[in-house]
Amino acid sequence: MAPVVFYFHGKSPAVDGVTIDVHELQTMEQLRQLVSTKLSVALPSTVTFNKQADVEIPASVLTVLDRIDAIMIEREVAILVSGRKVRPVPGPTGGIPFIGGYSEIYPDFMGNYQRLLSKYGHIVHVSFLGKSVYLTDDPDCAGVVLSEGEFYSKQIGENHPLFPFKMTLPNGLFTSDTSNPAWPTSHKFMMTAMGAKAMRNYVRSMDHTAGHLVQRFNELLEGDQSFNAFPWALRTAAQTIGEVAVGIDFKMLDSTESSIADIFNLITRNLEAAQGLFRKGRIYRAFPNPERREQKITADQMNAFVAAQMERILREGKTEDMAYQQAAISTTSLLDYMLHATDEEEMKMDVELIHETVITFLIAGQVTTSSALAWLWFCLSTFPVQARKLYASLITAGLTRDKEITADELSKLEYLDWFIKEMQRLFNPAFQPTREAQKDVIMPGGLVVPKGSQVTVALHSVMVNSEHWKNPLTFDPDRWGTEEVRKRHKYAYIPFAAGGRSCIGYNFALQELKLLLARTVLNFQIENTTEGSVIYDPEFSLYRPLNFTMRLRKQIDPSELKMEEGPVIEEKIEAPTPVVGSKLLPKFWAVHASNNGTCEGMAGDAAAKARQFGFADVRVVSLRDSPLASATSTAEVAAASNFFVICVSTYNGEPPDSALSFSDMLDAEIKSGNDSRFAGINFCVFGAGNTQWGPTYQAFVR
Ligand code: HEM
Ligand SMILES: Cc1cc2nc3c(=O)[nH]c(=O)nc-3n(C[C@H](O)[C@H](O)[C@H](O)COP(=O)(O)O)c2cc1C
C-alpha cells in the first residue's frame, strides 16, 4: 500500500506535507504521535485527520477519518489541530511605530494580560520595542510551555523577564539556562535540601520567628497603629529565610525599631538596579551607567557576606561531610548543607556555585513569601467570614496562642491550606514564568509559536480561566474541598509553575506561610485601613501590594467562638482587583467642561488610559466641581502632587455653558492682578472644537 501524505488543512500537501508508512502502524495513538513528531505538534491528542479536501473548504465540514484502515486507503490526509486550521497567533497590531504594543502591556501587566487574553483568545502575541511576547492562559498550553524538553526550555535571553537577574547570577539556580551545566548540579543538591522532610527541621525556627512577629504586632495593636503591611511582611520573610539559609539570627523582629539587615538592603538595591537596566533597554545597557555600577558594588558586597558566613561555618567545624540525602535532614542551615553534602561520586558543590546559590535563596525565599504574606493579611481583612472560619478551624484542631505548632499539626490543617491556595490562585506573587520555543511549535488550539519566541504563562489568567474555574473571581477556600476542583486540569492551578524549572522552595514557602497565617489568626483580626484602592507595584517583577495599610484588633476569645457555633454563614464575595499604581505619580484629575458630552467622554478616556499607565489615584470631575473652581481648594492642590487634564469644548467662540462661570472667574482674577492663583499647578488643556477653536481654549491655557 502506498504511503500517505499528511499536511495541515489549508497548506499544500506537495510542499508542506510529510509522508508516512501508515500500514506499519497499529493504533491511531501511534499515528497521532508520529504525525505530531514530524509536524511539531505539541500535544498528539489534539490532532484529527480528515479526508483530503480543497483548501477552501471550511474546516468544520471536513470528513473526519478516525480509523487507521480508513486513513490507509487515502493518498493525502488533511490535519486539524484541536479541530482548527493551523494559523499564526493573533494579537494587537499597529500602534506607534517601534513603540508598538508597549502600552498594550505596560505598566498594568496583570490587567493587560487578562484584557489581551479575553480579547484575542488563549494565546496572544504582542510586539513592541523590538521584542515579541507570547502570552497564554490555557492550562494545556501552560503544560506544554513549562515542560522542559523538545519544544520549550528556560533560556534567559535579552527579552526574558529574568534577564536582569541573570546578569548578576548567571549560574544561580533560578536564573541559569537549563542548558547551563551548573543547573543540574545545583538542582540536584538543592531539591533534596528543600524537600518536605528536610523542611521539618526548620518548623521550630520558623515558628519562633512567627512568635516574634506576634510580639511586635501586639505592640502595634496597643498603640492602635495603622501601618503599611508590606515592610512587615518583608522583614518577617527575610528573617525566616536568612536564618534557614545561613543559620544566623538577623534580629529583624526583635523590636518595632529593628532595621532590615544589610544583606537584604543590598539585595533590594541590586534588584532595583537590575530592573532599571532592563527597562531602559539594550542601547542604554551598552554604555557605562549608574545602574551597572550599583549592580557591581552591591554584588561585591553580597559575595563578601556569603564568604564571611562560609568561613564562620567552616571555622566552627561542627558538621562532617556526608551524603546529600543525610545532610538534608541533619545540617543546621542551607549553607551548612552546601558546604558538607556530597553526591554519589563524592563530589560537592563548588565554592562559586555555593555563592550564587546562597544569594539566589536569599532573594527567592524573601521576595516571594513577603508578597504572599502581605496578600494573606489583605485576604484576612477583606474576607472576615472566611477569616473567622479559619480561626474556628485552628481552635478545633487544638491550636492555641501559646503552644508550639508541630509539623504534623500543620499538615492536617485543611482549611488553612485552602485559604492559602485561594490567596495564591487570586494574588500569587509570581505571575509570568517564561520559556523559549526550541523550534516552531503547533500549540493546542492550532496556533503556531515560532522558534526562538519567549512564551509567558500568565499565571493569574490561567488560575481564573473561566473554562476551568467556576466563579473564578470569588474568594472561596471551600472550593478546594469539592470534587470539581479536586479533578481539575493538571495545569489549571500552577502558582509555583510546573515542570523541571518549577519552584524548588514550595515546601519551604507553604510551611512558612501556614505558620505565619495560623499565628496571625490565633492572635489578631485585621482591619484594612488603606485609603482608596490597594495598588500593586508595576515596577517590580512580582505582584506585591504597595500601599495596603492595616490595623490590628485582638482576636476574640475561643470561648466566644464556641457560643457562636452553628451553621457557618457562606459569604462569598468577589475578590477586589488591586489596580496598578506607582506612588511616585501624582493624583490624576480628568476635568471636563462639555455641552454635549464629547469632552466628558474624552475625560473618561484619559482617566482610563491614566489608570492603565500606572496612575494610582484617578478622578473624573466637571470643571465646575473641580478644585480649580475655588481659590481655597486651588491653593491645596497646588501645594500637593496633582495633575489636571482639562477637556473643554467651545461654542461660538465661547466656553461651553458649564464653564462660563469659570471663564468669567479667570478673566476677573487676571484683571485684578491676582494671576498667581494657579501658580504651581500641573495641567494641560485639550480643546475640542472646529476650525475656530482658538479664542476660547487658548485663553484657558493662558
Ligand atoms: C509563595 C511563594 C513562592 C512562589 C509563588 C514561588 C514561585 C516560583 C515560580 C513560579 C518559579 C518558576 C520561575 C520561572 O519559571 O522562571 C519558582 C522558581 C524557584 N523558586 Fe520559588 N516561589 C515561592 C517561594 C520560594 C521560596 C521560599 C524559595 C526558597 C527558599 C524559592 C526558590 C525558588 C528557586 C530556587 C527557583 C528556581 C528553580 C529552578 O529554576 O530550577 N521559591 N518559584
Ligand atoms: C452650535 C455650535 C457651535 C460651535 N461653535 C464652535 C466654535 O466657535 N469654535 C469651535 O472651535 N468649535 C465650535 N463648535 C464645535 C464644538 O466645540 C465641538 O463639537 C465639541 O466637540 C463639542 O464638545 P461637547 O460635546 O463636549 O460640548 C460648535 C459646535 C456647535 C454645535
Centroid of ligand 1 to alpha carbon of 385 (angstroms): 31
Kindly report which listed range (371-380, 408-417, 495-504, 597-606) carries the lowest average pLDDT score: 597-606
Q: Which residue would you say has higher pLDDT here, 651 or 396?
A: 396
Give percent of the chain with pLDDT exceeding 90. Answer: 69
pLDDT at residue number 276: 83
Nearest-angstrom CA–CA distance, 454 and 436: 5
Centroid of ligand 2 to alpha carbon of 677 (angstroms): 28
Q: Is the CB of 649 under 6 A from ligand 2?
A: yes
Nearest-angstrom CA–CA distance, 612 and 575: 20
Q: Would you place residue 483 in the very low, low, confident or very high pLDDT band (cuts 50, 70, 90)?
A: very high
Strand partners, 618: 588
**Residues forming CATH 3.40.50.360 domain(s) in the chain:** 585-701
- For residue 600, the ligand closest to its alpha carbon is 2
Q: Is 179 exposed, middle or buried (0-12, 13-18, 19+ CB in 10 A)?
A: exposed
Q: Would you place residue 482 in the very low, low, confident or very high pLDDT band (cuts 50, 70, 90)?
A: very high
Taking only the tens place, the pLDDT of each residue in 228-240 is 999 999 999 999 9
**Atom number of ligand 1 nearest to Cα 429:** 5
**For residue 72, pLDDT beyond 70:** yes
Count of other CB atoms within 10 angstroms of residue 108: 20
pLDDT at residue number 94: 65
Contacts of 572 (CB under 8 A, 6+ apart): 471, 474, 475, 476
- For residue 597, the ligand closest to its alpha carbon is 2
- For residue 692, the ligand closest to its alpha carbon is 2
Give percent of the chain with pLDDT exceeding 70. Answer: 96
Nearest CA to ligand 2 atom 27: 595
**Does the annotation place 503 within a ligand binding site?**
yes
Fold for the domain defined by 87-168+431-494: 3.30.43
**For residue 575, pLDDT beyond 80:** no
User: What radius of gyration, in Å, describes the C-alpha atoms of the chain?
Assistant: 30
Write the ipTM. Answer: 0.81
Centroid of ligand 2 to alpha carbon of 627 (angstroms): 25
Centroid of ligand 2 to alpha carbon of 655 (angstroms): 9
pLDDT at residue number 467: 97
Centroid of ligand 1 to alpha carbon of 364 (angstroms): 6
Q: 447 φ, ψ to 5°?
A: -90, 140
Q: Which residue would you say has higher pLDDT here, 56 or 352?
A: 352
- Domain 4-85 CATH (choose: 2.60.40, 3.10.20, 1.20.1070, 2.40.50): 3.10.20
Centroid of ligand 1 to alpha carbon of 586 (angstroms): 34
**Residues forming CATH 3.10.20 domain(s) in the chain:** 4-85
| Closest among 498, 507, 510 to 457, alpha carbons compared | 498
Q: Among all chains, which residue has been given the C-alpha cell 490562585? A: 425
Contacts of 278 (CB under 8 A, 6+ apart): 161, 163, 164
Q: Which residue would you say has higher pLDDT here, 94 or 297?
A: 297
Sign of CA dihedral 555, 556, 558, 563: negative
**For residue 379, pLDDT beyond 90:** yes
Nearest CA to ligand 1 atom 31: 505
DSSP letters, 305-318, are HHHHHHHHHHHHT-
pLDDT at residue number 567: 46
Taking only the tens place, the pLDDT of each residue in 2-57 is 799 999 998 988 888 999 999 888 899 999 999 999 999 999 999 999 997 777 78
**Domain 585-701 grouped into CATH 3.40.50.360:** yes
Q: Is the CB of 598 under 6 A from ligand 2?
A: yes
**Domain 182-430+495-563 grouped into CATH 1.10.630.10:** yes
Q: Is the CB of 687 under 6 A from ligand 2?
A: no
Over range 131-154, report the average pLDDT.
95
Taking only the tens place, the pLDDT of each residue in 148-196 is 999 999 999 988 889 888 888 999 999 999 999 999 999 999 999 999 9
**Residues forming CATH 1.10.630.10 domain(s) in the chain:** 182-430+495-563
**Atom number of ligand 2 nearest to Cα 593:** 26
Count of other CB atoms within 10 angstroms of residue 126: 23
Give the residue, out of 651, 652, 660, with the most ligand 2 atoms within 8 A of its beta carbon, to mutate for a pocket test.
651
Q: Which residue would you say has higher pLDDT here, 664 or 35?
A: 35
pLDDT at residue number 569: 53
